[in-house]
Amino acid sequence: MIDFQLNTDEYTLYQALPEDGSAQGNITTRKALRWRKAKYWETREGLIRKQAAIAGLGGGGTLRRAPDQVDGTELVGQVVESVGGVRIPPRVRERHLYGPLVDTLRESWSRETRSNSIVVEDTSDQGRRITGGRWTRPDIVAINLKEYDYLPGKYIEVVSFEVKPADQINVTAVYEALAHRRSATHAYVLLHIPQVRRDSLADDLLSVRSVAAEHGVGVITFGEQDNYDTWSILEVALRVETTPERLNDFIETQLSSDSKRKIAMSVR
């Protein structure tokens, strides 16, 4: 299965089935999803047709994840999360994406932007700390220094990232990123688009890209948060000439003491 895809309903049903590959009653599954019969049976047939699920007997019938195979051998006793070697990742909450994304940005962002990385920090959860409001608090902030061959001095880049999991991809992400950009130099939205959901999320992604391009907000998609090879920069963020006062205040209010110390040492 070179290009195995699931639509939104098929993915939702697959995730509702036991990970260990055990059978689950159709009635139980449908009630858990709160789906109408027609929707359930249509989606069920889609999974079976794509060889992602297997129907079984029993009162009302059962459904289970189809076991993956390697060289024709069924992998017994393992978590079933792939079909034909194509992984079907579970849903990931937004807050669980931050850590791996920060690590990946630390390793790869400066190389991608040809700049010197100073800090990359998760700024999503700052408790009661006053940061200027909900939409002024980005999920991740990266601070870089950039130098040019024919221009004097160093140029600081304050880049904000708004993260959205696959089930929350819409244009709201762009407007949140715009709120951050008032005090940064660049703003990006980071969108989780697993390979198996690429087609079903295509329209949502197109809407986000259209609005983002209109406002100069960057768009990055990633299939795996900890693998930069699955990342794609679809729209490059435009630099905004934010005043030094705003940049300084943003760093002061959003970043940790350790990060501020690193920045202060780097710009001297």
Mean pLDDT in residue range 109-129:
84
The pLDDT confidence band at residue 71, using thresholds 50, 70 and 90, is very low
The pLDDT confidence band at residue 69, using thresholds 50, 70 and 90, is low
Q: What is the distance between the alpha carbons of residues 98 and 219, in angstroms, rounded to a whole number?
A: 17
Residue 40 and residue 17 in contact, taking contact as beta carbons nearer than 8 Å? no
Q: Are strands 62-65 and 69-70 parallel, antiparallel or unpaired?
A: unpaired
Residue 102 to residues 18, 75, 186: CA-CA distances in angstroms? 31, 33, 17
Q: Where, residue-wise, is CATH 1.10.10.10 in the chain?
A: 8-65
CA angle, corner 22, sides to 20 and 75, nearest 5?
50
**pLDDT at residue 84 greater than cutoff 70:** yes
For domain 94-267, the CATH architecture is 3-Layer(aba) Sandwich (3.40)
pLDDT of residue 80: 74
The pLDDT confidence band at residue 86, using thresholds 50, 70 and 90, is confident
Query: What one-letter code names the amino acid at 119?
Result: V
Entry pTM: 0.89
Q: Which CATH number applies to 8-65?
A: 1.10.10.10
Q: What is the distance between the alpha carbons of residues 254 and 123, in angstroms, rounded to a whole number?
A: 7
Average predicted confidence (pLDDT) for the chain: 91
pLDDT of residue 113: 87
Helix (H, G, I), strand (E, B) or coil at 162: strand
pLDDT of residue 138: 95
Query: Strands, E, within the chain: which ranges?
Result: 24-25, 53-56, 62-65, 69-70, 73-74, 82-83, 86-87, 116-122, 140-146, 155-164, 186-192, 218-222, 231-235
Q: Where, residue-wise, is CATH 3.40.1350 in the chain?
A: 94-267
pLDDT digits (tens, 9 = 90+) for 37-64: 999 999 999 999 999 999 998 778 999 9
Tokens found for residue 208:
């986000």
Q: What is the distance between the alpha carbons of residues 203 and 118, in angstroms, rounded to a whole number?
A: 36
**pLDDT at residue 72 greater than cutoff 50:** no
